[in-house]
Amino acid sequence: MTEPLLRLEELVVEFADPHRRVRAVDGVSLEIGAGDILGLVGESGSGKTTLAKTVLRLYRPHSGRILLQGRDITHLGEAALRPLRRHAQMVFQDPLSSFNPRHTIGRALAIPMRLHGVARPVPDVLADVGLPAGFADRYPHQLSGGQLQRAAIGRALSLSPALIVADEAVSKLDVSVRAQILNLLRRVHAERGVSLLFITHDLHVARFLCHRIGVMRAGRLLEIGPTAQVFASPAHEYTRTLLGTIVT
Ligand SMILES: Nc1ncnc2c1ncn2[C@@H]1O[C@H](COP(=O)(O)OP(=O)(O)OP(=O)(O)O)[C@@H](O)[C@H]1O
Ligand SMILES: [Mg+2]
């Protein structure tokens, strides 16, 4: 039996503040196979970002297990995680805040590659995501939102990850730019077979890109299945409500 790329088993993530404890992820189990695109949808506060950050072990779960390429990373410390980080990369909603404003794009791309011993030239990384070589000398604020998101995707791809986690990566972009970035992600997936965990509010976007869709509510995974099945015959009332908000 081959291991899935990622397996979550009964994952629970809690936040504690002095007044209360929030169970942001509440017993989620799922798998992502090599080359899969899994969409995660659900209303604000349903735990999508928390789940994503826990998958990348930016958070430590309260209980449950995270297996990446068959390896249990649930409790690994920072030193043990460091060499594994290149295998799972994240692309965020706001590309400007994910770049150091004082570093050129070239430097921003070069630093993680150097850290992980990758020798790919920066102009090649830029070309991979449709950006001209000259952008290496520009600063983040000199790029548009779409160009910057391309650079962020290039930065993730430069490390040849097995998984890219994209958290609302197209949500802030204009419709036409959004389509370009979605097509870029599609192309990258087709060419490299990288798996995607794609988080979005937008069911249209999820339908366009994702093989399977998981629906989250209040920290729980209500249902998960092939995209066509979730759209055609949603198992849960809540999913029907979500689907009711889009015009097909
Ligand atoms: N760092 C944190 N500290 C305390 N509580 C948090 C933290 N991050 C998230 N939460 C809480 O956990 C729950 C899930 O939040 P999360 O950001 O994962 O939801 P989300 O589905 O990504 O929402 P959105 O669609 O708005 O991005 C919410 O109740 C939120 O307030
Ligand atoms: Mg979020």
116: CATH? 3.40.50.300
Q: What's residue 1's pLDDT?
A: 59
Flag whether 209 is in a domain.
Answer: yes
Q: Whole domain around residue 29: which residue ranges? A: 6-244
| C-alpha triplet 132, 135, 141: angle, nearest 5° | 135
Given 3-state DSSP classes, what are the helix, strand and coil percentages for the chain, each rounded to the nearest 5?
40, 25, 35
Q: What's residue 242's pLDDT?
A: 83
User: For the whole model, what pTM was predicted?
Assistant: 0.94
Ligand 1 atom at shortest distance from the alpha carbon of 168? 27
Ligand 1 proximal residues by C-beta, below 6 Å: 15, 22, 24, 42, 44-50
Residue nearest to atom 29 of ligand 1 (CA): 45
CA of 41 to the centre of ligand 2 (A): 10
- How many CB atoms are closer than 10 A to CB 240? 11
Ligand 1 atom at shortest distance from the alpha carbon of 17? 4
Flag whether 236 is in a domain.
Answer: yes
Residue count of the chain: 248
Residue nearest to atom 9 of ligand 1 (CA): 50
Q: Does residue 33 surpass a pLDDT of 90? A: yes
Flag whether 62 is in a domain.
Answer: yes
Flag whether 1 is in a domain.
Answer: no
CA of 53 to the centre of ligand 2 (A): 10
Measured distance CA(33)–CA(64) in Å, rounded: 19
The domain total for the chain is 1
- Percent of the chain scoring above 70 in pLDDT: 98
In 48-144, alpha helices (H): 48-55, 78-81, 105-115, 122-128
Q: 15 — phi, psi (to 5°)? A: -115, 140
pLDDT per residue as tens digits for the range 163-178 = 999 999 999 899 999 9
Measured distance CA(33)–CA(16) in Å, rounded: 33
User: 180-208: b or e for each residue (b if 16 or more CB lie within 10 Å)?
Assistant: bbbebbeebbeeeebbbbbbbeebebbbb
**Residue from 12, 48, 215, 217 whose mutation best tests the ligand 1 pocket (most atoms within 8 A of CB):** 48
CA of 122 to the centre of ligand 2 (A): 30
pLDDT per residue as tens digits for the range 182-241 = 999 999 999 999 999 999 988 889 999 999 999 999 999 999 999 999 999 999 888 888
Q: What's residue 132's pLDDT?
A: 98
CA of 212 to the centre of ligand 1 (A): 23
